[in-house]
Structures are given as C-alpha cells and as structure tokens.
C-alpha cells in the first residue's frame, strides 16, 4: 500500500487532490515507522458528488466479525420470550440501546462438535467441522468461515484478517479429553492443518495496524525516539487537511484522536504493569489489569481497524474454554469453569447468567461505539455484521445444542433486527455461517453440514 505520488507542481504529496474529484480509498499517511490508513472520506467517493454515490459505496462495504464466548450459557436468563426483543432478558439487557440492529437466534446446534468437549466447542464454532482426535501435531479440522471470507476479499485490505484473544494461549500437547491444545487455543484456521494464532497484547495489535514492522527491538527504539507512533505523521496530516472539505477534516481529527487515545491507554497499561505483583498467568505482561479495560481496548482496536479499512474480517476470543478467570467485579469471585458445572444449582446458574451479561455488556458497548461512528450514508454498524456466541450450550452437560447466538449489524441495510428467531427443531449453525458469508459477498452454496440458509435473518427486498 503506497502513498500517492508527489505531483511536480506541489511541495506536498497531497497537493494534487486540491483540484481532483476524489481521493484514492487506499490513501495512507506515512511517517517514520508508521503507516496510518484513513477512514472513508467524502473525497474518496469515486463519482462527481458524494451524495449521488454514497449509498452504492456503502453497500459495497463488506465487514464481518466473530466473537467467541466459552462454556455456554444460562438459557433461562438469555432467551427472549417472544419473537421480538421488546423486553430483553437479563443476560441480554445491555443490548437495549442497539437492539434494533440485533437478532437473537435460538435452537442452533453444532453436530460436528460431538463428542462434547471444551476443545471441540471452540474448534467447531467457526468451522462446523469435526476435529481429529489427536494429542499430537497431526491435528486436522477445517477452514473457518472468517478465512473463507478472507480468501474472497481479504486481499482488498492491508491485513486479510485480524485474529484477537484475551488470554495468553501458550499451552501445548493434550488439553481436553485427548484433543490437542491447538483446537482450544485457536478460533481461526486458514486450512484444515493451519491454525492462526490470536494476539492478546494491545501494543502488538496496535503496531500491527499502524506500525511499519521491524523487530520488537527496532519498534521499541523507534517508539522511544518519537514518543508516539502518530508524531511522525503530524505534518502529513496537516498537509492532507488543506486539500479537504470541513466534514472530511473533522472525520480525520476524530479518527486520529481515537488512535491517540487508544495509544495512551496502552502506554498507561504498560507503565502500571509493574504495580501488579501477582499477574494473571493467562494475561500477557503489559496489558490492563482489569479485564473490562483490556477487553475494551481490544474492541477499540477492531473499531480502528474497520474505520481505516485496514481489515474487514475479525475474530475475537473474548475468553477461552476451561477459563478459570474470576469476575469479582460483578460478584463472581469463583473461577468461571467450575461455576459452569452447575448441577442445576440456582446459585451457580445465577452466576453463569451474571458472566453472560458481563460479556454481553462489553460487546454492547462496542456496538454502541460502532453505531456512533458515521460512515457513508449511515454508520459503521450499519455497514458491518457481527456474530457473537459459543460452541457450547449447557456447560454442565458439555452439549452443543441450543447455542447462545446473537447477530448484530445492518449489513448495509440488509438485516432486519429487533427480533428473536426460534427454531422448533435444531438448526445447524453452519446454516447461519453460510447465510452471513453470502450476505458479505461470498458466493458459497454450501458450508460444512449446512442444509440451507437462515432466510428470516434478512429483508429480501433490500438484499
């Protein structure tokens, strides 16, 4: 990805755009060790006027994200009573402000995740494939839906896809009932034999999105030299803004300030890491001590990646299977995994519901930020699709039926939200995967064990 060539009649690399009708979508700002992609600007609209072409441009935006939560749910506090989301159950209550762009789907299942385990819950979630039972390196699964999308349109962006997690997943060997740890550690697979490791450290993700690469030592030295990654592109930002209208200047200011704020929070976490004498062994050194702060940073990095069109495909493991993380901040001081073996104990089920609500609240905050970010003829949420859920239903039984599944976003005006779709008979999760792939422009006819599409999810008039 390169910056526009400098015109012969201008001292600025952006001077040529003062008289041009549009700015290339792939325009970036380059500085010492930094490459800053830009949000969608009016000046990037390829036709004569932004107003005439914005709707068409918006419908061509293809973004899809997948959020994984472990160890199932408490359905009594999750499942809406009727076919609408007029009254949200307690676990989904944080979605209230964005429920018009949310659909809850009940009674979906993952047949190929059996025999039930934590490893297969994670591995089948995006592959709908049966994991080979092995404790060695001869593991075999299937290509996950995010990577099928990446093969279709990932080449259009700086990064084909972005794989994120919250935990340091360094375990190897056998993790769960004879299944290799690779199945539990990796949500995304680019082929049946190629798992894609996820990154949990905000600094590494930040520099993946905006840095120029190099060794960790080179990046650290460059950071010390300039104090902030953004410092080296300040002059370029000023020159670019001279060639743009007021709306575009405001968009750039807001985007750059958002990047700077994320960078400040990362730096603060790194400075205060030494104040935590008992770090969580699953959490990389230098990330925020509070789980919610860490999760919000990882969500904000996704937001920046989408705004700058750095990638259009994201997977995020919000917590890992078999996690022993505690949540004292919400009244659950016990480790997550043992709590989910509830044995129908009301107190344990209530704590499972609290964890479900807590995780959803983090996702809801992210959706609210997307909805508050203008883009083209709407906002970022209008032009994106996210699937949120788990590969496990009842954690006490380790089953893979009646999974917790939420779909959010507008898909450029194609999705009808505010609804609860409840299937009378179990529906393959692969049907939903196939539907979402089709809606973001991947022309598949079948996926894994799919039997059709979730036809009720989208308005056929607007597709």
pLDDT digits (tens, 9 = 90+) for 224-243: 666 677 887 888 888 898 88
Would you state the pLDDT for residue 13? 38
The dihedral over CA atoms of 226, 232, 238, 244, expressed in degrees to the nearest 10, equals -140
Please check the confidence at residue 444 and state whether its pLDDT lies above 90: yes
User: Across residues 344-365, what is the average pLDDT?
Assistant: 98
- Give CA–CA dist 412/383, Å, rounded: 4
* 396 DSSP 8-state letter: T
Burial class (CB in 10 A: 0-12, 13-18, 19+), 447: buried
> In whole angstroms, what separates CA 71 from the centre of its chain?
19
Domain boundaries, the chain: 34-457
Would you state the pLDDT for residue 125? 98
**Average pLDDT across the chain, whole number:** 85
User: Across residues 256-282, what is the average pLDDT?
Assistant: 74
Query: pLDDT higher for 176 or 108?
Result: 108
Three-point CA angle 102, 288, 94, nearest 5°: 20
Q: What's the maximum distance between 2 C-alpha atoms anywhere in the chain? A: 76
* 386 DSSP 8-state letter: E
CATH class name, domain 34-457: alpha beta
- pLDDT band of 27, cuts 50, 70, 90: confident
Would you state the pLDDT for residue 100? 94
Three-point CA angle 128, 448, 450, nearest 5°: 100
- pLDDT band of 21, cuts 50, 70, 90: very low
Which segments of 199-245 does DSSP mark as H helices, in order?
202-210, 216-226, 234-242
* 427 DSSP 8-state letter: E
First to last CA, the chain: 32
Q: What are phi and psi of 436, to 5 degrees?
A: -65, -40
The dihedral over CA atoms of 322, 170, 65, 203, expressed in degrees to the nearest 10, equals 130
Least confident of 3-17, 113-127, 139-153: 3-17
Tell me what percent of the residues of the chain surpass a pLDDT of 90: 63
Q: Which two tokens stand for residue 107?
A: 């009674």
Q: Is the pTM of this model over 0.95?
A: no
- Give CA–CA dist 173/251, Å, rounded: 48
CB 27 within 8 A of CB 4: yes
The total number of residues written for the chain in this structure? 463
- pLDDT band of 422, cuts 50, 70, 90: very high
Query: Tens of pLDDT along 403-417?
Result: 999 999 985 457 889
Please check the confidence at residue 278 and state whether its pLDDT lies above 60: no
Helices 291-307 & 202-210, crossing angle to 10 degrees?
Answer: 10
> In whole angstroms, what separates CA 129 from the centre of its chain?
21
- Give CA–CA dist 51/412, Å, rounded: 16
Please check the confidence at residue 11 and state whether its pLDDT lies above 50: no
Please check the confidence at residue 57 and state whether its pLDDT lies above 80: no
- Give CA–CA dist 214/2, Å, rounded: 18
Would you state the pLDDT for residue 318? 96
Most confident stretch, 41-45, 95-99, 212-216, 282-286: 95-99
- Give CA–CA dist 171/187, Å, rounded: 15
Helices 429-439 & 145-153, crossing angle to 10 degrees?
Answer: 20
- Give CA–CA dist 41/2, Å, rounded: 18
> In whole angstroms, what separates CA 252 from the centre of its chain?
23
């Amino acid at each position: 990805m390169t910056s526009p060539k400098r015109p012969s009649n201008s001292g600025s690399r952006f001077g040529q755009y003062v008289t041009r009708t549009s700015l290339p979508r792939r325009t970036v700002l380059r500085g010492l060790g930094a490459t800053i992609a830009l949000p969608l600007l009016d000046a990037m609209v390829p036709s004569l006027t932004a107003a005439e072409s914005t709707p068409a441009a918006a419908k061509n935006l293809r973004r899809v994200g997948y959020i994984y939560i472990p160890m199932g749910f408490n359905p009594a506090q999750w499942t809406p009573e009727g076919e609408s989301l007029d009254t949200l159950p307690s676990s989904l209550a944080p979605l209230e402000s964005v429920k018009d762009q949310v659909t809850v789907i009940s009674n979906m299942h993952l047949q190929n995740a059996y025999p039930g385990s934590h490893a297969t819950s994670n591995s089948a979630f995006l592959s709908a494939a049966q994991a080979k039972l092995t404790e060695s390196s001869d593991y075999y699964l299937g290509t996950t839906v995010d990577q099928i999308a990446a093969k279709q349109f990932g080449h259009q962006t700086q990064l084909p896809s972005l794989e994120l997690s919250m935990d340091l997943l360094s375990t190897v060997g056998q993790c769960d009932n004879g299944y290799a740890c690779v199945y539990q550690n990796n949500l995304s697979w680019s082929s049946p034999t190629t798992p894609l490791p996820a990154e949990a450290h905000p600094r590494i993700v930040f520099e993946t999105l905006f840095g120029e690469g190099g060794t960790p030592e080179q990046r650290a030295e460059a950071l010390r030299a300039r104090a902030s990654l953004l410092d080296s592109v300040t002059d370029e930002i000023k020159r670019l803004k001279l060639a743009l209208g007021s709306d575009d200047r405001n968009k750039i200011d807001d985007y750059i300030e958002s990047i700077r704020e994320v960078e400040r929070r990362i730096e603060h976490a790194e400075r205060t890491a030494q104040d935590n004498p008992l770090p969580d062994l699953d959490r990389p050194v230098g990330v925020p001590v509070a789980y919610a702060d860490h999760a919000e940073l990882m969500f904000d990095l996704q937001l920046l990646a989408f705004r700058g069109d750095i990638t259009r495909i994201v997977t995020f493991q919000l917590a890992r299977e078999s996690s022993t993380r505690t949540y004292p901040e919400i009244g659950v001081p016990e480790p997550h995994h043992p709590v989910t073996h509830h044995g129908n104990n009301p107190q344990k089920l209530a704590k499972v519901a609290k964890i479900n609500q807590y995780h959803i609240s983090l996702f809801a905050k992210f959706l609210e930020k997307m909805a508050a970010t203008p883009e083209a003829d709407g906002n970022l949420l209008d032009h994106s699709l996210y699937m949120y859920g788990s590969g496990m239903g009842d954690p006490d039984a380790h089953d893979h039926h009646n999974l917790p599944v939420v779909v959010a976003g507008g898909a450029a005006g194609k999705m009808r939200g505010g609804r609860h779709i409840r299937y009378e008979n179990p529906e393959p999760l692969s049907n939903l995967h196939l539907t979402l792939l089709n809606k973001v422009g991947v022309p598949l006819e079948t996926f894994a064990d799919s039997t059709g599409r979730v036809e009720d999810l989208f308005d056929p008039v607007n597709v």
